[in-house]
């Protein structure tokens, strides 16, 4: 169901409360020509989040996807949600919400453009050209103003989207993640080559961690695409829920979501399974983009504790796989300075923000300026602690 349509010069702008109402083929065709597409913005992924009950109004994610049509064809789109909280976003604005509360104002619901529960940078504004991209930015702001929302936020944008929000005067917030990227000047031949280029103490620590896992009698199997059968998906989901339980939290994603992934996007999934004594004891799920040779660490869990098993399953095995298969990038997910010691280097991220109240907008702008200065110092410090024996140049 669409919320209705508005005309913006030659464009027809619609808002939808169900991703399934949007033509999947047209959406994916638009995604394919963007500067930084990822599998997580595929129509199948977003529709599965909704259909499975993972990102729905009952969980605080009410879809309001925006589309732009020109001449009867889809030329722009963006996944939008009305949010009743700030969980599952990984760009933290709890302090902003608290400031609104203390001032007697309502911060929620707010408007969010993001991939739910997925802190992977990439294109957010699917646009045929810059003019359409600007229309999308204007439409998001207009929706927030019309609904009298406190704010609108667009998370983990690429450089092209960032420029569009800057043109519109939105506030920009910097962040940092840790990624491995194949060096441009001297590509790595394999995992042993990566180890050889690390500083001695880092190399020694990794060798010790891997040896502890091997000495514990743990072996691995790797399963790609359709090789991940229902039994493996069931085991993965059990491990996934155990991880959340260990942190006294509730899993975001339902088993039905992963069943949809197995049906509609099998080529984008890779599962590492750890075994001991003939029994499965842990696994890590990696998303992959075979066309762009990129991999993304997503979820992990274990039925029993083995020292250093997390590092082996989530970093060392995936990195070795990427190097063997000629992948050029492995993203380790949100946060995690410890990833540097394992060959992942700091990479900047960005998000865009609009706040309706001018006083709060000014206060947040001041906060972001100070936060950005501290982040720049932090990244400088991280770069000084480069784990490699000689600086590497990312591709």
Provide the residue-wise pLDDT of the chain in tens; the chain has 395 residues.
Answer: 455 566 566 899 999 999 999 999 999 999 999 999 999 999 999 999 999 999 999 999 999 999 999 999 999 999 999 999 999 999 999 999 999 999 999 999 999 999 999 999 999 999 999 999 999 999 999 999 999 999 999 999 999 999 999 999 999 999 999 999 999 888 999 999 999 999 999 999 999 999 999 999 999 999 999 999 999 999 999 999 999 988 888 899 999 999 999 999 999 999 999 999 999 999 999 999 999 999 999 999 999 999 999 999 999 999 999 999 999 999 988 778 889 999 999 999 999 999 999 999 999 999 999 999 999 999 999 999 999 986 555 54
Residue 1: per-residue pLDDT: 44
339 pairs with which residues across the strands? none
Distance CA 333, CA 346 (A): 11
112 pairs with which residues across the strands? 81, 153
- 10 Å Cβ neighbour count for 78? 24
The structure tokens 């990227």 sit at: 181
Distance CA 96, CA 84 (A): 14
Q: Which of 246, 314, 321 is nearest to 283 (CA)?
A: 314
Q: Which of 339, 289, 335 is nearest to 310 (CA)?
A: 339
pTM score over 0.85: yes
- Report in angstroms the alpha-carbon separations of 345 from 70, 74, 100, 155, 190: 42, 38, 36, 21, 18
Residue 3: per-residue pLDDT: 58
Distance CA 152, CA 83 (A): 10
Residue 392: per-residue pLDDT: 52
In order of start, what are the domains of the chain with their CATH numbers? 2-169 (3.40.630.30), 179-345 (3.40.630.30)
Contact partners, residue 32, CB within 8 Å, separation at least 6: none
Under DSSP, is residue 262 helix (H, G, I), strand (E, B) or coil?
helix
Sign of CA dihedral 225, 226, 230, 232: negative
Distance CA 274, CA 318 (A): 13
Alpha helices (H) in 170-251, listed in sequence order = 191-197, 200-215, 230-246
2 pairs with which residues across the strands? 16
The DSSP element (H or E) to which 220 belongs, if any, is strand 219-224
Distance CA 16, CA 65 (A): 5
Assess contact for 178 and 383: CB atoms under 8 A.
no
Residue 21: per-residue pLDDT: 96
Which burial class, exposed, middle or buried, applies to 359 when counting CB atoms under 10 A from its CB (0-12, 13-18, 19+)? exposed
Contact partners, residue 62, CB within 8 Å, separation at least 6: 17, 56, 81, 82, 83, 84, 109
Bridge-based pairing of strands 329-331 and 294-302 is parallel
Sheet with 11-16, strands from edge to edge, namely: 2-8, 11-16, 65-70, 73-78, 126-127
Which burial class, exposed, middle or buried, applies to 334 when counting CB atoms under 10 A from its CB (0-12, 13-18, 19+)? middle
Residue 390: per-residue pLDDT: 66
Residue 2: per-residue pLDDT: 54
- 10 Å Cβ neighbour count for 176? 16
Distance CA 78, CA 304 (A): 41
């Amino acid at each position: 169901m669409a919320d209705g349509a508005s005309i913006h010069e030659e464009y027809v702008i619609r808002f939808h409360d169900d991703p399934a109402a949007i033509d999947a083929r047209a959406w994916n065709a638009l995604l394919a020509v963007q500067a930084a597409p990822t599998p997580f913005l595929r129509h199948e992924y977003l529709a599965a989040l909704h259909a499975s009950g993972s990102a729905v109004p009952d969980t605080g994610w009410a879809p309001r996807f925006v589309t732009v049509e020109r001449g009867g064809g889809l030329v722009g789109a963006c996944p939008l949600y009305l949010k009743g909280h700030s969980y599952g976003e990984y760009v933290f604005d709890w302090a902003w919400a608290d400031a609104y509360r203390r001032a007697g104002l309502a911060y929620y619901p707010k408007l969010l453009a993001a991939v739910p529960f997925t802190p992977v940078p990439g294109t957010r504004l699917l646009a045929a050209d810059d003019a359409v991209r600007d229309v999308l930015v204007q439409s998001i702001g207009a929706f927030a103003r019309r609904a009298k929302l406190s704010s609108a936020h667009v998370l983990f944008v690429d450089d092209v989207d960032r420029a569009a929000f800057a043109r519109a005067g939105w506030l920009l917030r910097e962040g940092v993640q840790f990624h491995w990227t194949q060096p441009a000047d001297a590509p790595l031949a394999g995992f042993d080559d990566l180890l050889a280029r690390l500083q001695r103490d880092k190399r020694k620590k990794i060798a010790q961690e891997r040896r502890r896992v091997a000495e514990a009698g743990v072996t691995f199997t790797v399963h790609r695409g359709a090789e991940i059968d229902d039994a493996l998906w069931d085991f993965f989901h059990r491990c996934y829920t155990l991880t959340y339980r260990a942190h006294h939290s509730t899993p975001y994603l339902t088993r039905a979501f992963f069943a949809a992934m197995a049906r509609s996007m099998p080529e984008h999934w890779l599962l590492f399974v750890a075994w001991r004594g003939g029994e499965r004891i842990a696994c890590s799920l990696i998303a992959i983009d075979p066309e762009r040779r990129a991999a993304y660490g997503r979820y992990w869990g274990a039925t029993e504790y083995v020292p250093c098993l997390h590092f082996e399953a989530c970093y060392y095995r995936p990195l070795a796989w990427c190097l063997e298969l000629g992948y050029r990038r492995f993203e380790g997910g949100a946060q995690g300075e410890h990833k540097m010691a394992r060959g992942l280097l700091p990479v900047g991220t960005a998000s865009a923000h609009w706040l309706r109240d001018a006083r709060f907008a000014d206060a947040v702008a001041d906060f972001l300026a100070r936060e950005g200065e501290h982040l720049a110092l932090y990244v400088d410090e991280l770069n000084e602690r480069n784990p490699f024996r000689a600086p590497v140049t990312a591709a």
